[in-house]
């Protein structure tokens, strides 16, 4: 049976508002972020989720809980929070202004902005550049990132055939990276997924395929 994965970006946070890098560091949802989470919950309210996953970062788990509160199956599900679904780790650049961080990572390779870098390279290369630019080299490169993320997707692959609808609340870079890997270039991911947006993916056996990206409705 084909599993449908409803991938949601968390609601807007204060670090999103201030345009700062927000990987493993965290900040609360803004009032608008709370409203956005509730709104997407209402969009998805009639989808009978069988399983619910989120990143273990609070901005994602808080969003997931608000979505489940609206859902027809919400009172039957226990949210499974995992570091496998966290955002990429930005190391030294955590909390830094996003334009400055992407400039420092991309400029040695001729790119001044994130959009320019992603348009000419890809998210995996961007991760490698960020680790290279990090004076502590704590930022995840592409290999380290996918070793972690793939553990989460292996859990999804191993779910029984009776599971049809899966909620997954995660982060912008992670959503864009997943879309880039599993969509054969069908979607423009340079700007990333909007807060509280919906990206759809299907899983059958060991195969994943993204069918839509960054939607506000189904």
Range of the domain at 132: 3-215
- d(CA 167, CA 174) in angstroms, rounded, equals 15
pLDDT tens column, 182-209: 998 999 999 899 999 999 999 999 999 9
pLDDT at 1 over 90: no
Is residue 139 within 8 Å of residue 126, measured between CB atoms? no
Structurally, the chain folds into a number of domains equal to 1
Tokens read off for 7: 């991938």
- d(CA 69, CA 66) in angstroms, rounded, equals 5
Strands (E), the chain: 3-9, 51-55, 80-82, 165-170, 198-204, 207-215
- d(CA 116, CA 121) in angstroms, rounded, equals 8
Q: What CATH number is attached to the domain comprising 136?
A: 3.40.50.1240
pLDDT at 13 over 90: yes
Tell me how crowded residue 217 is: count the other CB atoms within 10 A of its CB.
Answer: 8
What is the average per-residue pLDDT within 19-47?
A: 98
**Three-state SS sequence of 92-135:** HHCCCEHHHHHHHHHHHHCCCCHHHHHHHCCHHHHHHHHHHHCC
In angstroms and rounded to an integer, the radius of gyration of the C-alpha atoms of the chain is: 17
pLDDT tens column, 55-100: 999 999 999 999 999 999 999 999 999 999 999 999 999 999 999 9
Q: Which residues are CB-contacts of 156 (< 8 A; sequence separation ≥ 6)?
A: 3, 5, 53, 166, 168, 203
């Amino acid at each position: 049976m084909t599993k449908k994965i409803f991938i949601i970006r968390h609601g807007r946070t204060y670090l999103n508002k201030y345009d700062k890098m927000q990987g493993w560091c965290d900040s609360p949802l803004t009032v608008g972020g709370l409203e956005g989470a509730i709104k997407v919950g209402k969009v998805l309210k009639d989808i009978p989720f069988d399983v619910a996953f989120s990143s273990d970062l609070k901005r994602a788990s808080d969003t997931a809980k608000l979505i489940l509160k609206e859902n027809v199956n919400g009172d039957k599900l226990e949210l499974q929070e995992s570091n496998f679904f966290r955002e990429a780790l930005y190391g030294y650049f955590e909390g830094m202004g996003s334009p400055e961080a992407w400039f420092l990572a991309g400029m040695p390779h001729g790119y001044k902005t994130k959009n320019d870098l992603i348009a000419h390279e890809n998210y995996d290369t961007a991760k490698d550049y960020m680790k290279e630019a990090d004076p502590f080299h704590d930022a995840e490169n592409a290999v380290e990132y996918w070793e972690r993320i793939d553990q989460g997707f292996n859990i999804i692959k191993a779910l029984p055939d009776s599971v049809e609808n899966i909620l997954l609340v995660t982060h912008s870079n992670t959503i864009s990276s997943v879309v880039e890997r599993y969509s054969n270039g069908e979607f423009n991911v340079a700007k990333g997924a909007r807060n509280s947006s919906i990206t759809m993916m299907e899983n059958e056996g060991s195969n994943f395929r993204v069918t839509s990206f960054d939607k506000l409705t189904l």
